[in-house]
Amino acid sequence: MPVNTGAPMQTRPSRVHLPKFDSSPPTILEYLLARFPHVHESIWRERVSQGLITLSDGTTLEENSPYRHGVTVFYRKEVPSEPPLREEALIVYRDDEILVVDKPHGMPVTPSGEHVERSLFVHLQRVTGLPDLAPMHRLDRDTAGLLLFTIKPGVRAHYHRLFEEGRIEREYLALAHITDPLEGTHWRLENRMEPGEPWYRQRIVDGPVNAITEIELLSLRLGVGQFRLFPKTGRKHQLRVHMASIGCPIVGDPFYPTITKKQEGDPPLQLLARRLAFIDPWTGEALSFTSARST
């Protein structure tokens, strides 16, 4: 992997579509600061002051430009030096149609913040030479474990359908804080999740169910429990919200149940996408993969 020696690394222009929120941030700049927490605020303000960020309506972003959903923000990432990775991503399976990767903690799936060349997506494109890779689901930057990619655009719909129809088994492991006695060791949570406050967090609300998770307590020692989780749907932050809702927030979670600022030396989110199992819709073969990592 090439090492950046100091000169800013120019990448192709990036874009961010501004989504609709019930309670949106007051300015576009505030949204960008929260959307990319690993890019220092001074970098965004410098880009704005130099007129380097433009909007899809042809205007240039200013610090007080109000937030407007539906607008696209265009900018060019400049990363003077990317932080080193503590671990490498491991390719655990590859055939003509799909790729399964074991991702480490701290590696974003797509370019984000200070991680551009070292994002999983860019890294895989480089080491495999496959230009049309596409992730079929998402993992948070701090979540480690298995991620399924398709290799050819023509097969993506078949693998997307596995997730849409619940025909793929996903098992996660989590370490969570337990401060109060638990009433059981098994839970099945079925509720509705929507954006909360601030806008980047999720919350449980009344309404039709859109988030389902089965949770099992495996062991408990010194106030920390090991849990096995089986998400049946794929809502943003679903496992983190559901764990916090039963009084067992995941170790290393800065958002749930309350927002806390990460400190040097804090552990990453102790959540691992441990296993993927499904009937391959292209070949009909039963496939099962297990991460070599641990929480």
* Topology, domain 90-290: Pseudouridine synthase (3.30.2350)
| CA-wise closest residue to 200 among 40, 62, 21 | 21
Residue 11's pLDDT is 45
Mapped onto helix, strand or coil, the DSSP state of residue 143 is coil
Task: Give CA separation, 203 vs 125, 168, 255, in Å.
Answer: 35, 25, 11
Q: Residue 295's Cα: distance from chain center in Å?
A: 16
DSSP of 59-123: PBP-TTPBP-TT-EEEE--EESSPPPPSS--EEEEE-SSEEEEEEPTT--SS-BTTBSTTSHHHH
Higher-pLDDT residue of 243 and 39 is 243
Dump pLDDT digits (tens) for 93-136: 999 999 999 999 988 887 654 445 567 887 888 888 888 889 99
Mean pLDDT to the nearest integer, 265-280: 94
- Cis-peptide, bond into residue 25, ω within 30° of zero: no
Higher-pLDDT residue of 38 and 32 is 32
pTM of the model: 0.73
Dump pLDDT digits (tens) for 131-189: 888 999 988 888 999 999 999 999 999 999 999 999 999 999 999 999 899 989 999 99
The Cα–Cα gap between 160 and 59 comes to: 36
Q: Give 6's pLDDT tier (boundaries 50, 70, 90).
A: very low
CB 95 within 8 A of CB 113: no
| Percent of the chain whose pLDDT exceeds 70 | 89
* Topology, domain 10-78: 3.10.290
Domain locations along the chain: 10-78, 90-290
| CA neighbours closer than 13 Å in the CB half-sphere of residue 36 | 22
| CA-wise closest residue to 180 among 110, 257, 115 | 257
The Cα–Cα gap between 247 and 176 comes to: 9
Lowest-pLDDT choice from 12-16, 69-73, 86-90, 125-129: 12-16
H or E segment and range at residue 35? helix 28-35
Q: What are the residue ranges of helices labelled H in 136-215?
A: 156-164
Q: Which amino acid would we find at residue 287? A: L
Q: Please give the structure tokens belonging to residue 150.
A: 């398709």
Residue 225's pLDDT is 97
